[in-house]
Amino acid sequence: MELHFEPIELNKQQDYQRKYEQSNVPASDYTFINLWGWAQEYNLEWAWTDNLIWIRQTKPEIRYWAPMGNWQTVDWTTTLKQLTEEHITFIRIPESLFEIWHKQLPNVVNIKETRGQWDYLYDVEELIQLRGNRFHKKKNLVNQFKRKYDYTYLPFDEGMIDRALALQAEWCTWKDCEANEILTMENRVIKKVLTHGSNFEQLIGGTLFVGNELVSYTIAEVVFDSYLVIHFEKGNPAVKGSYQAINQMFLEHNGQGYLQVNREQDIDDPGLRKAKLSYNPVDFIKKNSVYLS
């Protein structure tokens, strides 16, 4: 059966969500907000069959992502024949799906580790409490922020959008987004998601004000009822501790009851990797490239 790919649309959000949950892997790449938000940047498309939603990007070249659905019940030997290319590259493939493929097609699938795509998972309670020597520096920065500034924490709502977009524009000036393709793309995605935020049932977030100035914000998505995925987190670099404070306070105010928080990947950026490791991840969602021949 030939696959018919089409643009990713908002009106299929709930149907997609059901298939995503059947995969049983809370990978950040595959949340609906992430797919829809980055769709134009990678020319993402999907094709729907009875038991799977196929995902592929066509920019800068054709690459398939993991199909969403119940991976355990699929006859992959037959199913993968729906792809007509002779040599096929899959990216962002969760380890659990690769293991299924390798078992069913041992001589066909080959893997290449892509460490930069691994999601970082953290224990929510640990990031709220920041106890012990492992979190000593983080705790100090949060406490310094609380002592130094007359701050207010507020949940993110529609009234915050313009303020967040203004901070995002300033942030891009500080970081010179125009000189960095990834930051330029992310900036467009943030604007897209924030301006359409009311369309997403699972979207939550938090903001920190010092006086009347928004100094940091975070945007997250609830997945599987027990996980949070942090999609965007921005702060004013001139306000010391703003990042550590929004990280801790958002989870303290809006993260209670969730088991783990997924803070996405480091895209092989050394500074980003160092920062993510400094929060002491408890696990990773390993996603790698897989080649079929």
Model confidence over 212-235: pLDDT tens digits?
999 999 999 999 989 999 999 999
pLDDT digits (tens, 9 = 90+) for 246-279: 999 999 999 999 999 999 999 999 999 999 999 9
pTM: 0.94
Reference 217, options 204, 200, 226, 201; nearest CA is 204
Measured distance CA(289)–CA(255) in Å, rounded: 32
Taking residue 126's Cβ as centre, other Cβ atoms within 10 Å add up to 19
At residue 194, the pLDDT reads 94
Pull the structure tokens for residue 191: 């604007």
At residue 86, the pLDDT reads 72
The rounded average pLDDT for each run of 10 residues, N- to C-terminus, in the chain (293 residues) is 89 95 96 96 96 96 96 93 81 97 91 97 98 96 97 94 95 93 95 92 94 96 94 95 97 95 97 96 98 86
At residue 1, the pLDDT reads 58
Taking residue 177's Cβ as centre, other Cβ atoms within 10 Å add up to 19
What domains does the chain contain, in order, with CATH numbers? 6-118 (3.40.630.30), 119-264 (3.40.630.30)
Measured distance CA(231)–CA(36) in Å, rounded: 13
